[in-house]
Amino acid sequence: MGDRAAKDALYAEFAAVGKALGSHKRLEMLDLLAQGPRSVEALASAADLGISTCSAHLQTLREAGLVETRRDGRRIYYSLAADDVAKLWDNLRRVALRHRPHTQLARAAYLGPDDTEAVTTEALLQRIHDGDVVVVDVRPTPEFAGGHLPGAVHIPVEELAGRLAELPVDREIIAYCRGQYCVLAHDAVRLLTMRGYRASRARDGALEWRLSGLLAHDGAA
């Protein structure tokens, strides 16, 4: 029989990870960092937090071993410690969706009405191979630099209305963003459809494709 104190110490290590996950803002940060490295300032802005509050959350995540840092001049950049942290975040979402009924209601309230066609990753890759579509990454620039589908056109969603002339009107446009719980692609497809384009969105996004090894990198974030 094992030593009780040793067993308690082991489970305390597991609990430290669980405790770090016990904040909706820290989960949002993991979601953002799954897109690529971010400075504290960029994370604070994206998560709508003050710098000091953001730094405190990041310190909790770092102490739990979920994120790591690098310094570039005066700035400190955070990234996920490894892809298994992204997988942990993905699994947490799946468990919540399966076992907490209100998760789907909250998702629907955030993403809006089910008025955009979703394309599976398998179908998307086939259409890319056939040359039938133009794929548009509508995430912010640092996230595109952190990893994107090869050949994707990058137009951040807030710039889309002013850059429609860059997209062909005679081909289907497929927009993608951070993943299955990201509203950006939904908003992009609604705009494109309203402007007369044939548009749909990828069901998955950068998080799922990071875990599948589908993302390309052509610059540091």
When the candidates are 3.60.21.10, 1.10.10.10, 1.20.1440.230, 3.20.20.70, the CATH number that belongs to 4-87 is 1.10.10.10
pLDDT in tens, 8-64: 999 999 999 999 999 999 999 999 999 999 999 999 999 999 999 999 999 999 999
Q: Is the dihedral of CA 43, 200, 212, 156 positive or negative?
A: negative
Q: Are 33 and 58 in contact (CB under 8 A)?
A: no
- Examine the pLDDT at 75 and tell me if it is beyond 50: yes
Q: Of the residues 66, 149, 177, 211, which is catalytic?
A: 177
- For residue 177, indicate whether it is catalytic: yes
Residues 6+ away with beta carbon under 8 Å from 73:
none
User: Across residues 73-79, what is the average pLDDT?
Assistant: 93
Query: In the chain, which residues fall in CATH 1.10.10.10?
Result: 4-87
Superfamily of structural domain 112-212: Rhodanese-like domain (3.40.250.10)
State the Cα–Cα distance between residues 160 and 163, nearest whole angstrom: 5
